[in-house]
Amino acid sequence: MAAEKEYDLIIRNGWLITMDAAGTRYPSADIAVENGKISAIGSSLPGSGKEEIDAKGNVVLPGLVDAHMHMTLLRGIGDDLPLMRWLYEVMFPKDAQIQARHIHAAAIMNQAELIRGGVTTFLDIFRFPSESAAIAEQSGLRGVFCPQIIDEPAGAGETLESNLAFIEAWKDRVPERLYTWFGPHAPYSNFPETYAKIAEYAEHYDIGYHTHICETEDEVRQIKEKYGKSSVKLLDDVGALNPRFSVAHGVHLSPEDIELLAERGVGVVHNPSSNMKLASGVAPIPELFAAGVKVGLGTDSNLSNNNLDMFEEMRIAAFLQKLYRKDPSVLPCEQVLRMATMGSASCLGMDHMIGSLEVGKRGDIIIMDMHQPHLYPLLPEPNTNVIEQLVYSASAADVWTTIVEGRVLMHERQVRTLDWAAAQDLVVEMAQDLISRSDIWRRLGREA
Amino acid sequence: MAAEKEYDLIIRNGWLITMDAAGTRYPSADIAVENGKISAIGSSLPGSGKEEIDAKGNVVLPGLVDAHMHMTLLRGIGDDLPLMRWLYEVMFPKDAQIQARHIHAAAIMNQAELIRGGVTTFLDIFRFPSESAAIAEQSGLRGVFCPQIIDEPAGAGETLESNLAFIEAWKDRVPERLYTWFGPHAPYSNFPETYAKIAEYAEHYDIGYHTHICETEDEVRQIKEKYGKSSVKLLDDVGALNPRFSVAHGVHLSPEDIELLAERGVGVVHNPSSNMKLASGVAPIPELFAAGVKVGLGTDSNLSNNNLDMFEEMRIAAFLQKLYRKDPSVLPCEQVLRMATMGSASCLGMDHMIGSLEVGKRGDIIIMDMHQPHLYPLLPEPNTNVIEQLVYSASAADVWTTIVEGRVLMHERQVRTLDWAAAQDLVVEMAQDLISRSDIWRRLGREA
């Protein structure tokens, strides 16, 4: 008699919402992971797992993908300021003083939050990416790291050179879990030639790149005045638009911009909380979908959101379009859940490996604790309201278990891979240090 | 030697955010409750408590006040429909079939959620208010119950007669915790004479009344066509505007309407999530504040929100105004926290007894678990970001303890007064029953 099959991980009896192309859901099924990949889905799978989790009728989802965020530290400092005061008295002074140790502390805090909120893959565009990547080695999350290159003003960010050095240093360090990309900041802070060079380098290294685009009306005006065209057209004219490229925000896009993004296969990452908080505007999400653009979802950062709760982000994405279009049927909940999973995965060029629960894909899985008052009544299949409850009522705090490549990063809300309790004092100390170095309290008229 | 002072409850070492008129905060203080009222606030209070809670540097807030909600059952059923299909194929059929036992189940679910989200006082305007009030007797929450009177179409709601009977039956049953009010639904579903009568009855009984007003552009147009004036002017002309009266939504108010509301002392309850989800519009909150109107906050219901998370509601209230006014400095976080506490309390005519932590006020208190990644870095007084973290990053799930009149309804997230686990099956059964009776699946084109 053959030995019993042993998997690395089996989740039993889950309500599987696969987010595959057909939208398949299993009211009760097992899902097994072997060598980091989903190797079986079915009822009462024979065999055993080195780790077995009983999902007891709870919901099993593909891990959420936060396709645009910054590993920032100073949550809740300088909120509610007019935009120019915020930029000149908080953001720029802070960015000029930031050091690797600040990012180290921020990365522990942010990655602990991501794990607790069911995010299994994130794209981080910011400073000192080695610090964040080193924490991700330990946290077990899947990450894409984009050193944030700023040409003007010089010294405000990473450089093309530091980006290249980072790629060289990390390219083989954690294959297929930690990715090194290029991170040009924005068309108003980078030269068009930088985008042109990056497009070539990206092809050479076979990697992606990511930028901010058309976030504010100011940017649109400024680029138009300087170059006589839109940011999207500008980057297309230097050969930078292609499927390796994903852009964040895309709030102020013309129909021609949208057409170009669709033709060139560029993904757009929507950040609705940030766009509301910073008064940027409302992105044309239905038009992007209609044009066939890949659309993902991101939290932007704890400075502009102020949390990394992708459930809240889904809810706000839907509500904002309903309000803005004066039609409650716009952007229905299943489409929003798809944005946060397959949509974001395709913006990262990873839709073949994550974003849905399918055999052969990576074992990036979350389990939701559904038996709570705010998720009831929970109706069984086939006439269920499970997607409605997840998108319109759930929050990050309802994530029970977070798994990447079959490794359990959190279970029963206990994070296993990062020691948050031990890091709390360090996070406050580093925040105080950065505030003090950048003289923020004095700039804001408070006593230090 | 005198006997040691014994309080009913002492919370020790809390970071008290009192929300009093001066905005007083105590970095570390004790707060004691005796006979349902706050009897002392100070450092190292002498004496002991029958129950003592160590708040260990966590935040202590006045309980949140949800000043407009409906005790509804069918969360997540019929979302994402165009407004007219939702009204005619889900809401009206459902409302015609609703029975007391459905409200009984809904009340357990909703009140468990409110307790878990740090809401200590709610205003419920809906059907079969005795059911919801009976659950509130048990849950320990403070509640205002408004039977939802609908004149047209007849039979769609409560009546002036059933409202009067409810008041008579409940007026002395749980004094100063459960309040019976009048609940005329809206100017388009009630006759002006009904409001006129209610205004007189309310004075007779010395109680309040509550309605929906200017929620949609349709309402404004309809009332203008029928009466040649605005809803606000209409109700003023029948003598219904006075400080006993609070109104929900107020999305489409003219400057003259706002002036009238201010002059007459009418409170306006803002429901931003609902206004977004149902595409109603953006309420003129800064104008209401500028005119001196009392402004509170509400969740509306699990049908239109879809949760009762007042922290999320605060965040959305602020973000929505920032976006709409194109200015990130509009509606700062402390003002929003005041809306959810003192603002809502004043809409209920209860600002002398709840809404802030002050000696002599009721012991309605919540404790927040602040030591979580998404609430960090948490900077100490005086240059703290504690209000920012609470309003822009916290959620209902961060409430650790909920107390009403010194009675601990939840501690360490365990609800003590309602047995949610025992009620789950009933809630699903009642939801299925109501869906089936109102034939919703067939109306929506799904198989039953």
Tell me the C-alpha distance between B328 and B320, whole Å. 10
Read off the pLDDT of each residue in A193-219 and give the average, rounded to a whole number: 97
Contact A305/B at CB under 8 A? yes
Q: Give me the pLDDT at residue B155, please.
A: 87
**Cβ-based neighbours of B2, under 8 Å, separated by 6 or more:** none
Burial bucket for residue A233 (CB in 10 Å: 0-12, 13-18, 19+): middle
B41 — phi, psi (to 5°)?
-135, 130
Burial bucket for residue B43 (CB in 10 Å: 0-12, 13-18, 19+): exposed
Q: Give me the pLDDT at residue A214, please.
A: 97
Peptide bond into A271 cis (omega under 30): no
Tell me the C-alpha distance between B402 and B396, whole Å. 11
Q: E strand or H helix at B318, and its extent? A: helix B310-325
- Strands in B267-270's sheet, in edge-to-edge order, are B209-213, B245-249, B267-270, B295-297
First and final C-alpha spacing in chain B: 74
Kindly report, residue by residue over B377-430, the tens digit of the pLDDT: 999 999 999 999 999 999 999 999 999 999 999 999 999 999 999 999 999 999
DSSP class per residue in B63-95: PEEEEEE-----TTSSTT--HHHHIIIIIHHHH
Contact B385 A75 (CB under 8 A): yes
Tell me the C-alpha distance between B102 and B106, whole Å. 6
Read off the pLDDT of each residue in B331-356 and give the average, rounded to a whole number: 98
Please state whether beta strands B365-368 and A119-126 pair in parallel, antiparallel, or not at all (unpaired). unpaired
Cα distances (Å, whole numbers) of residue B170 to A310, B70, B93, B137, B281: 44, 19, 29, 11, 37
Asked whether B371 and A116 are in contact (CB, 8 A), the reply is: no
- CA-nearest of A405, A286, A267 to A346 is A267
- Residues of A whose CB is below 8 A from B322: 276-279
Please provide the average confidence, as pLDDT, over all residues in chain B. 97
Contact A82 B329 (CB under 8 A): yes
Q: Give me the pLDDT at residue A2, please.
A: 58
pLDDT band at A171 (very low <50, low <70, confident <90, very high): confident
pLDDT band at B2 (very low <50, low <70, confident <90, very high): low
Q: Give me the pLDDT at residue B12, please.
A: 98
Smallest Cβ distance to A306: which of B112, B329, B393?
Answer: B393
Q: Which fold has domain A64-347?
A: TIM Barrel (3.20.20)
The three-class DSSP label of residue B132 is: helix
In 3-state terms chain A splits into helix, strand, coil percentages (rounded to 5) of 40, 25, 40
Kindly report, residue by residue over B193-246, the tens digit of the pLDDT: 999 999 999 999 999 999 999 999 999 999 999 999 999 999 999 999 999 999
B136 — phi, psi (to 5°)?
-70, -30
Residue type, A236: D
pLDDT over 60 (residue A1): no
DSSP code for A386: H
**DSSP count for chain B of H helices, then E strands:** 17, 18
- Residues of A whose CB is below 8 A from B424: 371, 376
Q: E strand or H helix at B402, and its extent? A: strand B399-404
Q: Give me the pLDDT at residue A27, please.
A: 97
Contact B319 A424 (CB under 8 A): no
Asked whether A8 and A51 are in contact (CB, 8 A), the reply is: yes
Q: E strand or H helix at A221, and its extent? A: helix A217-227
Q: Give me the pLDDT at residue B332, please.
A: 98
The percent of residues in chain A predicted with pLDDT above 70, rounded, is 99
Take residue B104 and report the two structure tokens written for it: 């009984």
Please state whether beta strands A37-42 and A25-34 pair in parallel, antiparallel, or not at all (unpaired). antiparallel
Contact B328/A at CB under 8 A? yes
Please provide the average confidence, as pLDDT, over all residues in chain A. 97
- CA-nearest of A244, A189, A246 to A68 is A246
The residue of chain B with its CA nearest to that of A335 is B80
Residue type, A145: F
- Residues of B whose CB is below 8 A from A312: 312, 395
Smallest Cβ distance to A373: which of B74, B420, B441?
Answer: B420
Contact A333 B308 (CB under 8 A): no
Tell me the C-alpha distance between B160 and B157, whole Å. 10
Q: Give me the pLDDT at residue B448, please.
A: 64
Kindly report, residue by residue over A76-102, the tens digit of the pLDDT: 999 999 988 998 899 989 999 999 999
Q: Give me the pLDDT at residue B84, please.
A: 87
DSSP class per residue in A186-232: -TTTS-HHHHHHHHHHHHHHT--EEEEES-SHHHHHHHHHHHSS-HH
The three-class DSSP label of residue B8 is: strand
pLDDT over 70 (residue B1): no
Contact B116/A at CB under 8 A? yes
Burial bucket for residue B204 (CB in 10 Å: 0-12, 13-18, 19+): exposed
Read off the pLDDT of each residue in A371-377 and give the average, rounded to a whole number: 97
The percent of residues in chain B predicted with pLDDT above 90, rounded, is 95
The residue of chain B with its CA nearest to that of A385 is B76
**B6-62+356-413 belongs to which homologous superfamily?**
Urease, subunit C, domain 1 (2.30.40.10)
Peptide bond into A153 cis (omega under 30): yes
Contact B322 A278 (CB under 8 A): yes
Kindly report, residue by residue over B29-50, the tens digit of the pLDDT: 999 999 999 999 999 999 999 9
Domain boundary assignment for chain A:
6-62+356-413, 64-347
Contact A96/B at CB under 8 A? no
In 3-state terms chain B splits into helix, strand, coil percentages (rounded to 5) of 40, 25, 40
- Chain A nearest C-alpha distance from B313 (Å): 11
Tell me the C-alpha distance between A112 and B377, whole Å. 13
Tell me the C-alpha distance between B281 and B188, whole Å. 18
- Segment 257-276 of chain B within 8 Å of chain A by CB: 273, 275-276
Contact A87/B at CB under 8 A? no
Read off the pLDDT of each residue in B9-21 and give the average, rounded to a whole number: 98
Residue type, B251: V
Length of chain B, in residues: 448
Take residue B283 and report the two structure tokens written for it: 């309420």
Kindly report, residue by residue over B84-128, the tens digit of the pLDDT: 899 889 998 999 999 999 999 999 999 999 999 999 999 999 999
Read off the pLDDT of each residue in B160-175 and give the average, rounded to a whole number: 95
Take residue A300 and report the two structure tokens written for it: 């932007």
- Segment 142-201 of chain B within 8 Å of chain A by CB: none
- Residues of B whose CB is below 8 A from A320: 276
Cα distances (Å, whole numbers) of residue B342 to B41, B66, B335, B339, B353: 19, 11, 10, 6, 10
Angle at the Cα of B75 from the Cα atoms of A300 and B445, rounded to 5 degrees: 105
Residue type, A258: I
Take residue B139 and report the two structure tokens written for it: 């849950």
Tell me the C-alpha distance between B253 and B269, whole Å. 13
> Which residues face B6 on adjacent strands?
B48
Contact B328 A277 (CB under 8 A): yes
Centre a 10 Å sphere on the Cβ of residue A448 and count the other Cβ atoms it contains: 9
The residue of chain B with its CA nearest to that of A421 is B371
Contact B431 A282 (CB under 8 A): no
Contact A447 B396 (CB under 8 A): no
Please state whether beta strands A64-69 and A119-126 pair in parallel, antiparallel, or not at all (unpaired). parallel
Take residue A180 and report the two structure tokens written for it: 């090194």
- Residues of A whose CB is below 8 A from B275: 323
Contact B420/A at CB under 8 A? yes
**DSSP count for chain A of H helices, then E strands:** 17, 18
Contact A76 B392 (CB under 8 A): yes
Q: What is the ipTM of this complex?
A: 0.97
A142 — phi, psi (to 5°)?
-90, 130
Asked whether A70 and A111 are in contact (CB, 8 A), the reply is: no
The percent of residues in chain B predicted with pLDDT above 70, rounded, is 99
The residue of chain A with its CA nearest to that of B281 is A323
Please state whether beta strands B295-297 and B267-270 pair in parallel, antiparallel, or not at all (unpaired). parallel
Burial bucket for residue A289 (CB in 10 Å: 0-12, 13-18, 19+): middle
The three-class DSSP label of residue B300 is: strand
Contact B75 A393 (CB under 8 A): yes
Contact A336/B at CB under 8 A? no
pLDDT band at A56 (very low <50, low <70, confident <90, very high): confident
Q: Give me the pLDDT at residue A448, please.
A: 64
Q: Give me the pLDDT at residue B180, please.
A: 98
Contact B228/A at CB under 8 A? no
Contact A322 B277 (CB under 8 A): yes
pLDDT over 90 (residue A64): yes
A428 — phi, psi (to 5°)?
-65, -40
